[in-house]
Structure 1
Amino acid sequence: MFCKAFRVKSHTALKSSDRKKLRGDISSTFPSLTTEKLAELMPPKEDLTIAKVFVHKGDAVSIYVHNRNPIIFELARNFYPTVYTLWRHPDLLPVFTTWPPVFERMSGGADLMLPGILMSSFGLPEVQQGTLCAITLVGNRAPVAIGVATMSTKDMLASGMKGKGFNILHTYKDQLWAYGDESCPPNIPPEEIEVAPSANLEEGYLDSESPAYITELENLHLEEVSATVQQESGEIKLSTETFQEEKAEIPYVENCNTSLQETMDDLLHQCFFHALKYKVKKSDLPLLTSAFLRNFLFACCPEGQQVDIKKSSYKKLSKFLQAMQQRNILQVKELSKGVESIVEIQWKHPDVISFVAPETVLPLETCETSDGGRKQPYQPPEILSLYGINAKMLPLFQASGHRKGDLLTANDVRSVIITYVKTNELVHSDNKNFVTVDPVICDCLLNASEKHDLLLLKWDDLVTRCLERMQPSHRVAFPGSSPVVRKGNIEAIDISVAQRGSNKKVTIIKNLELYGLDPVSVGSLLQQRVQASFSCTVLPGTKDRVQVQIQGNQVSQTGKLLLEHFKIPRKYINGLDLAGKAGKKK
């Protein structure tokens, strides 16, 4: 379902009443989730958002997001856990196990066939047709997919373990997983079970979940096993040869030994030292800790990564800075009640001096492409204004071989006009800055009130009138993609400030999609910079356009993001003059 990129319709915070209803629905859908586990999954005092999306097949899906990770998705009033939730609660659903090569095909959009399911001495879990189940890989109980059983366990065994077993809804590495922090599955050791005899191998089954048994199978010359890999009518059967070849190539979940917390600690330290050594100046001190985080530390994130202190071992910025203070790297003081500032930095500290910044550290934001949703560095599009020849202007262009509907650049139009004037000897004999108006120019460029009085036109006036009377169009070319031509002038990114209740202001940003920018990603980046909540809603009067709304007057930060990071030309941004005036320093 999520093997291809989906379109986000809106992304908003969940109301308290909707949160309460969701907790009730999840509790009734998954009775094994105790009150404590449910509170851990959806903490009552932490933000919970809902993203409404359309998948590539057109289905409307609601995705519930906590701490930037999708935890539950809703389809046709049914609730399904994501792999992020199952990694924290691996026993939430009945579990079936398969091999890594089979999973590679599942992650590409295929369903799970019964020959790809492993058998243990305890048999298969007892499920009914339509039961939601989790799929794991051999040697690890961390689920990598969820699917709906197409038949009961009894029918599976009766069929000789042939045919389709599960309709796969969501997998590790699909676009729903990519909507989160893209972390790897944890390594959850399998329960110690007795392995079934290997007699089933003659029937094409691989029946062990023990890593030691895998080695034993290799020693038994798996090439003698008659199982083959086929994909006929969507059916996947496990090939011993393919397993041997792909085993070394497929990134197994056990490669993710480094915990997310340790990874975030490393990223936090890297951005911290980079900010101290290359960004913060002595004139910036004293520096508010919140401003240091927003304007310096976040700006030093490598491409495609984001610092989330809550996921580090420090949990809070104040604790991290306190640890750095204990190492005598900097000094933090409370200059005003409840507000901490960095007042001193030891730039000659060995850790600061020895730090070397990676080659690519400034965040060039990424965007999704249509080739499977892979992320690539964002580059601004090349925008070219074009002018179409309409019926009224056609007589002026016919001599140059152009036809109605042809699109020309401004330089092409100017060249055609110059050629026409010189060919017909219309340059004024006394003043070469003027052109004599002939019947064709009169019909094409003059208003009714001017036709009897206006006999001469300046060169610039002639070209300007010509461009104004042609059909405006524009061509947008993104790097690596075919150019797209649209009628009319391209709409600029519109930034506006609106007043809400209680004298609160919000900043609204429109038309980001026209420049290849994902509104949700832009909103998330602004949220990091200004520490304010944002939401994405459908732009009124459109079906597939989204506007970003963020609390406060954030025009200045929005402008910096678009101009400096995304490199959008200033002429394509409206509303930069609405930035709030900086307050006077006391």
Structure 2
Amino acid sequence: MFAKVFKTKSNTAIKGSDRRKLRADINSSFPSLTTENLAELMPSKEELNVVKIYTHKGDAVTVYVQNHNPIMFELDRNLYPSVYTLWRYPDLLPAFTTWMPVLEKLAGGADLMLPGVVVPSSGLPEVKRGTLCAVTVVGNRAPVAVGVATMSTKEMQASGMKGKGINILHTYRDQLWVFGDKSSPPSIAPLEVNPAPKDTEEEQDSPQESEISKTKEVSLPEVPERELETLNLTEQGTVVPQNSTDKVEDEDEDTEDMGHCQRSPQEVMDSLLNQCFFHALKYKMKKPDLPLLTSTFLRNYLYPCCPEGQQVDIKKSSYKKLSKFLQTMQQRKILQVKELTKGVESIVDIDWKHPDIRSFLAPVTEATTPTLVENESEAGDHPYQPPEITSLYGISAKMLPLFQDTGHRKGNLLTQSDVRSIIITYVKTNELVDPDNKNFVKVNPILCDCLLDKSEYNDVTFLKWDDLLTRCLERMQHSHQITFPGSSPIVRKGNIDPIDISVAQRGSNKKVTMIKNLELYGMDPSTIANLLQQRVQASATCTPLPGAKDRVQVQIQGNQVLNVGRLLIDDFKIPRKYVNGLDLATKPGKKK
């Protein structure tokens, strides 16, 4: 259901009466949840949002979001838990186990077929047709998918474990999961079922090892290679080797062993947060970087100091918020935070002589060279990579008749090539190409209503192909999708604002160059200011952008449009069409 990007219709905070009704509905739908569980799932003092969305197939779904994570979604008046909720209550639903390769297909929109189900020694859970079920993978009890059983357990066994077992609604790594904090499933050891007695201490295994060994012995025959091929789990003629499955199970066992660490996950996250924080202060930040927005510090200084394979998530630490963490560091007199602009905090001072900073040593695997760019060659090592920007066109109510034959609905987003292909197919299917001149298309009643103005109804009977496609795109709802390397696509309404370069006159006939909208392209304004300052040897500062919250503009002395253009287009690889104001550069031979 959420395999493709969905459209958000509204996002509002829930009212008190609606919160109580939702709590009662959850209690009715999932009676195994205690009063304490409900209070933990929906804390009374924390904001709970109601998000109404339309899936790519046009289904209207209501999503309930707590702390930026979807906890429940409602479809046809039925409540379903998200994987984020099931990770907190893994035994909330009866669970069916499958293999890791199957999960990749489920995330792509496939349903769970019975040949892909692992039958444990204790047998399948008892369910009826229509029962809400969870799906787990071998070696981990944390659910990775939610769906509805298409048949009862007895019917599954009677069918010889063939056919469709569960209609999948939501999975780990689908777009509903992306809507949250995108955390990974926890490692939850499988429950031990009827452990066999051991004669000696040397033969005793941990419950996890016992369950995994049982799963290996019982389940391996259930999914032979020939059935994996029928499930399309591998490419044509290629079968997943047996040792790769063992490798996955070994990795799961290692993950479970790590889960027995004495420290709680919150303590582990606190330790990682402190390590990255002091690493950033000692090796990344310099005095010229101050003042620095706290959000910029988090994104461009703290996160890059995280060791490879790990991820800082402040919400999983004891601090919960960056502001609370920085307040604690301020109380320890490590740094000073102030509100330079109303509602926007900045780091204004750092005590680099503080004992905690001076005594910190970065891990051996981490680079300890400062990131302050001292020359042009170091600037070439900047980690920035330009985003991929795609124009999208939404189907409006007026344009719907042109697209409904292809199964599209109002609000669906299409690329320009998709629109062109659909329009060409429509014209040819309805035989609208002018037989005397194939460069023209006859205007039928639908094209007339969709593409012509009222004043043109009686005059225009033919349109050129280019005019036809141009009119179609102009009358659709414009949106854009921006994708940063390693991140999920972000869809926004309207066209993306270009980076705007302008030149303003100051006192004494002096000029300054101003640059705004850098944040939309994932660039840090303070980094751009530092690079320009070193390149042109002129003063550069970052100032709040009037009328825009949490946005700043770079201001540099003199007419530096030419240097700014070269930096953005040549060094940062921003396409020229997304940079405005390049014509304001000083003309050769003229002194400005």
TM-score (norm 1): 0.54
Q: Which residue of structure 1 lines up, in the alignment, with residue 23 of structure 2?
A: 23
Partner-residue secondary structure (3-state), 2:124: coil
Distance 1:92 1:364 in 2: 43
Q: Which residue of structure 1 lines up, in the alignment, with residue 98 of structure 2?
A: 98
- Equivalences for residues 429-448 of structure 1 within 5 A: none
For 1:10, the aligned partner's letter is: S
- Equivalences for residues 376-525 of structure 1 within 5 A: 486-487=473-474, 512-515=493-496
Q: Residues 294-348 of structure 1: CA distance to partner in whole angstroms, max 9, x if unpaired? A: 45444536589997533223335576346646877446899xxxx9997853224
Question: Which sits farther off after the overlay, 253-262 or 49-58?
Answer: 253-262
Q: Are the structure 2 counterparts of residues 254 and 38 from structure 1 closer, same or farther at C-alpha, using a change threshold of 3 Å? A: farther
Asked whether the equivalents of residues 269 and 312 of structure 2 are also in contact (C-alpha less than 8 Å), the reply is no
Asked whether the equivalents of residues 102 and 116 of structure 1 are also in contact (C-alpha less than 8 Å), the reply is yes
- Equivalences for residues 573-584 of structure 1 within 5 A: none
Match of 1:270 among 252, 257, 276: 276
Partner-residue secondary structure (3-state), 2:115: helix
Asked whether the equivalents of residues 191 and 211 of structure 2 are also in contact (C-alpha less than 8 Å), the reply is no
For 1:73, the aligned partner's letter is: F
Q: Residues 103-158 of structure 1: CA distance to partner in whole angstroms, max 9, x if unpaired? A: 23222322112222222343222211100011112221111111101111122222
Q: Which residue of structure 1 lines up, in the alignment, with residue 350 of structure 2?
A: 345
Distance 1:171 1:292 in 2: 36
Distance 2:223 2:127 in 1: 29
Q: Give 1:191 deviation, angstroms.
A: 1.1
CA RMSD between the two structures: 5.6
Task: Work out whether 1:211 is the aligned partner of 2:216.
Answer: no
Q: Are the structure 2 counterparts of residues 314 and 21 from structure 1 closer, same or farther at C-alpha, using a change threshold of 3 Å? A: same
Task: Work out whether 1:79 is the aligned partner of 2:79.
Answer: yes
Q: Give 1:38 deviation, angstroms.
A: 0.9
Q: Residues 75-118 of structure 1: CA distance to partner in whole angstroms, max 9, x if unpaired? A: 11111101110000011111222222332322232211222222
Q: Give 1:70 deviation, angstroms.
A: 1.2
Q: Which residue of structure 1 lines up, in the alignment, with residue 70 of structure 2?
A: 70
Asked whether the equivalents of residues 42 and 48 of structure 1 are also in contact (C-alpha less than 8 Å), the reply is yes
Q: Give 1:72 deviation, angstroms.
A: 0.8
Q: Residues 5-34 of structure 1: CA distance to partner in whole angstroms, max 9, x if unpaired? A: 222223232232322222121111111111
Q: Are the structure 2 counterparts of residues 570 and 281 from structure 1 closer, same or farther at C-alpha, using a change threshold of 3 Å? A: same
Q: Which residue of structure 1 lines up, in the alignment, with residue 550 of structure 2?
A: 557
Q: Which residue of structure 2 lines up, in the alignment, with residue 193 of structure 1?
A: 193
Distance 2:497 2:270 in 1: 29
Q: Are the structure 2 counterparts of residues 32 and 275 from structure 1 closer, same or farther at C-alpha, using a change threshold of 3 Å? A: same
For 1:350, the aligned partner's letter is: R
Distance 1:211 1:39 in 2: 34
Asked whether the equivalents of residues 298 and 307 of structure 1 are also in contact (C-alpha less than 8 Å), the reply is no
Distance 1:271 1:88 in 2: 28
Q: Are the structure 2 counterparts of residues 292 and 65 from structure 1 closer, same or farther at C-alpha, using a change threshold of 3 Å? A: same
Q: Give 1:188 deviation, angstroms.
A: 1.0
Distance 1:142 1:555 in 2: 42
Asked whether the equivalents of residues 150 and 167 of structure 1 are also in contact (C-alpha less than 8 Å), the reply is yes
Q: Residues 251-290 of structure 1: CA distance to partner in whole angstroms, max 9, x if unpaired? A: 9666765858745753565356536765564795xx7xxx
Task: Work out whether 1:110 is the aligned partner of 2:103.
Answer: no
Query: Which gives a bigger RCO, structure 1 or 2 (Cα 8 Å, sep 6+)?
Result: 1
Distance 1:356 1:8 in 2: 44
Asked whether the equivalents of residues 269 and 316 of structure 2 are also in contact (C-alpha less than 8 Å), the reply is no
Q: Are the structure 2 counterparts of residues 309 and 12 from structure 1 closer, same or farther at C-alpha, using a change threshold of 3 Å? A: same
Q: Residues 549-578 of structure 1: CA distance to partner in whole angstroms, max 9, x if unpaired? A: xxx9852534659x9999795759xxxxxx
Q: Which residue of structure 1 lines up, in the alignment, with residue 325 of structure 2?
A: 320
Distance 1:486 1:333 in 2: 47
Asked whether the equivalents of residues 347 and 353 of structure 1 are also in contact (C-alpha less than 8 Å), the reply is no
Q: Are the structure 2 counterparts of residues 485 and 34 from structure 1 closer, same or farther at C-alpha, using a change threshold of 3 Å? A: same
Partner-residue secondary structure (3-state), 1:247: helix
Distance 2:116 2:478 in 1: 52
For 1:345, the aligned partner's letter is: I
- Equivalences for residues 256-267 of structure 1 within 5 A: 259=265, 262=268, 266=272
Q: Which residue of structure 2 lines up, in the alignment, with residue 242 of structure 1?
A: 240
For 1:242, the aligned partner's letter is: V
Partner-residue secondary structure (3-state), 1:228: helix
For 1:309, the aligned partner's letter is: I
For 2:211, the aligned partner's letter is: S
For 2:172, the aligned partner's letter is: Y
Asked whether the equivalents of residues 113 and 231 of structure 2 are also in contact (C-alpha less than 8 Å), the reply is no
Distance 2:99 2:312 in 1: 34
Q: Residues 418-470 of structure 1: CA distance to partner in whole angstroms, max 9, x if unpaired? A: xxxxxxxxxxxxxxxxxxxxxxxxxxxxxxxxxxxxxxxxxxxxxxxxxxxxx
Q: Residues 11-61 of structure 1: CA distance to partner in whole angstroms, max 9, x if unpaired? A: 232232322222121111111111211111111111212222222222111
Q: Residues 341-374 of structure 1: CA distance to partner in whole angstroms, max 9, x if unpaired? A: 978532244367965468667797788999xxxx
Q: Which residue of structure 2 lines up, in the alignment, with residue 533 of structure 1?
A: none
Distance 1:265 1:225 in 2: 42
Q: Are the structure 2 counterparts of residues 235 and 180 from structure 1 closer, same or farther at C-alpha, using a change threshold of 3 Å? A: same
For 1:515, the aligned partner's letter is: I
Q: Residues 519-566 of structure 1: CA distance to partner in whole angstroms, max 9, x if unpaired? A: xxx9x99xxx9xxxxxxxxxxxxxxxxxxxxxx9852534659x9999
Partner-residue secondary structure (3-state), 1:229: helix
Distance 1:309 1:180 in 2: 14
Distance 1:195 1:272 in 2: 47
Distance 1:322 1:153 in 2: 55
Q: Are the structure 2 counterparts of residues 231 and 283 from structure 1 closer, same or farther at C-alpha, using a change threshold of 3 Å? A: closer
Q: Which residue of structure 1 lines up, in the alignment, with residue 173 of structure 2?
A: 173
Asked whether the equivalents of residues 223 and 241 of structure 1 are also in contact (C-alpha less than 8 Å), the reply is no
Q: Which residue of structure 2 lines up, in the alignment, with residue 458 of structure 1?
A: none
Task: Work out whether 1:310 is the aligned partner of 2:315.
Answer: yes
Q: Are the structure 2 counterparts of residues 555 and 12 from structure 1 closer, same or farther at C-alpha, using a change threshold of 3 Å? A: same
Q: Which residue of structure 1 lines up, in the alignment, with residue 538 of structure 2?
A: none
For 1:555, the aligned partner's letter is: A
For 2:147, the aligned partner's letter is: G
Distance 1:113 1:141 in 2: 19
Partner-residue secondary structure (3-state), 2:240: helix
For 1:166, the aligned partner's letter is: I
**Which one has the largest radius of gyration?**
1
